[in-house]
Amino acid sequence: MIPVSNDTLLRVVRRRIGDRNEDLNVIGIDDFAFRRGQTYGTIVCDLERRRPVTLLPDRALDTSRTWLAEHPSISIVARDRGGGYGEAIAKALSDAEQVADRWHLMENSSRAFLDAVGKLMRQIRQAVGSNVVDPKLLTYAEKLQYEGYLRRQETNEAVRELSKKGTSIRQIVRQTGHSRKLVRDVLRGQRLDVFRTRPSSLDGWLPWLNSRWEEGARNASALWRDMKTKGFAGQSGVVSQWAQRRRLAEKANQSGLARTPSTRVIARLMTTARDDLAKSEAILVAAIEVNVPELVAARTAIGDFQSMIRSKTARKLEEWLDRNPIMLHRIQRRRNSSGIRLA
């Protein structure tokens, strides 16, 4: 009932916040998108009071270093593993401790599991019985992807053969003409996906589609119209392609499609609760778990690590490192290269 406008109240609140002159002690620094993919700046947050402090106009090292030098009270800085902010912190606040925040630890651990899936794709394809792809079961778009996969395989074999002979990455790049990134990806076990699938608008509707198909609904256009009434936002083409693949699989007397999901899809399925999976997805995960124990071990290690981060039980870190010596080596290597520690 106070006769004050909303704008006046906002101005009062902003003025009171702006008048505060409290020293900063623990901050977080990261890049910030003014316009995603085009214009980026830097955001600094006060982690003790949980509020933004400032937005810097760019990600340049000198800009961050100048701002940090004006706040000598800062003793702890949380950042990602990128080297840019680390160098700015080291130059402006030489005594400040640099730590990795929980969000980046969670994101990096998820990326590590995705890399593990990528390196084991050959074993995964053997486990799910799609090591050999029957071109007769592929749509036109999938045939194009499969032909590209065969060409990539030729390149991969050539790079691996040179590596087995002791040829360095630099020499392989010179001899083959391929980029350094491509050569590294091949030697790290990447570039193995047959079909480079992307997230589809159909993913969340697959259980419903499978049940309707088993009930005898085989008209793709009718299925799409029914889905539209229920809120589906995709085009009819994705439903038609799905129905075409189902017909090809049934014609060949196969229970599933002759393809292995992408690394991202497999990583998602492997880390999803079994009760939340469709029947076909649960069968796929079970086959991988039985035949690719290395991936199960990686999932367990990453799951334990993320649980420790969520519950903030740092005392379990040493025990976790003892159980996963390979992880310890990688963490030490990355920490030495980035000048950062876990916190």
Domain ranges of the chain: 6-100, 130-261
| 266-298 residue pLDDT tens | 888 888 877 777 766 777 788 888 888 998 888
Residues whose CB is less than 8 angstroms from the CB of residue 56 and which lie 6 or more positions away in sequence, other chains included: 41, 42, 43, 44, 63, 64, 67
* Contact between residue 194 and residue 145 where contact means Cβ atoms under 8 Å apart: yes
Rounded distance between C-alpha atoms, residue 243 and residue 213, angstroms: 9
Quote the percentage of the chain above a pLDDT of 90. Answer: 11
Amino acid identity, position 321 = L
b/e for 28-46, b at 16 or more Cβ within 10 A? Answer: bbbeeeeeeeeeebbbbbb
Main-chain phi, psi angles of 299, to 5 degrees: -65, -40
Q: What is the DSSP letter of 249?
A: H
Tell me: pLDDT of 265 over 60. yes
In this predicted structure, the answer to whether residue 256 has a pLDDT above a threshold of 50 is no
pLDDT in tens, 174-232: 888 888 888 887 777 665 555 555 556 776 787 788 788 888 888 989 989 998 888 88
Compute how many other C-beta atoms are within 10 angstroms of the C-beta atom of residue 211. Answer: 12
What is the fold of 6-100? Nucleotidyltransferase; domain 5 (3.30.420)
What is the spatial distance between Cα 205 and Cα 229, in angstroms, rounded to a whole number? 13
Whether 26 shows a pLDDT value over 90: the answer reads yes
Q: Say how far apart CA 216 and CA 214 lie, in whole Å.
A: 5
Predicted confidence at residue 141, as pLDDT, reads 62
The rounded distance, in Å, linking the Cα atoms of 289 and 282 is: 10
Which tokens in the block code for residue 107? 């994101």
Q: In whole angstroms, what is the distance from residue 256 CA to residue 248 CA? A: 10
Q: What's the rounded Cα separation, in Å, for the pair 96 and 90? A: 8
Q: Is residue 65 a contact partner of residue 54, using CB atoms and an 8 Å limit?
A: no
Report strand pairing: 26-35 vs 97-100: unpaired
What DSSP state is assigned to residue 258? S
Interatomic CA distance for residues 96 and 72, integer angstroms: 9
The phi, psi pair for 152, rounded to 5°, reads -65, -35
Q: Phi then psi for 42, rounded to 5 degrees?
A: -130, 135
> What pLDDT shows up at residue 73?
92
Strands 39-46, 51-56: pairing kind: antiparallel
Q: What single DSSP character describes residue 243?
A: H
74 pLDDT above the threshold of 70: yes
Instruction: Please compute the mean of the pLDDT values over residues 295-308 and round it to a whole number.
Output: 89
Please check whether residue 310 is in contact with residue 69, taking contact to mean a CB–CB distance below 8 angstroms. no
The answer to whether residue 167 scores a pLDDT higher than 80 is yes
The answer to whether residues 137 and 254 touch, using CB atoms and an 8 Å cutoff, is yes
Least Cα distance to 77 among 113, 42, 117 occurs for 42
Do residues 161 and 91 make contact, with C-beta atoms less than 8 angstroms apart? no
Helix (H) or strand (E) run with residue 19 in it: helix 6-19
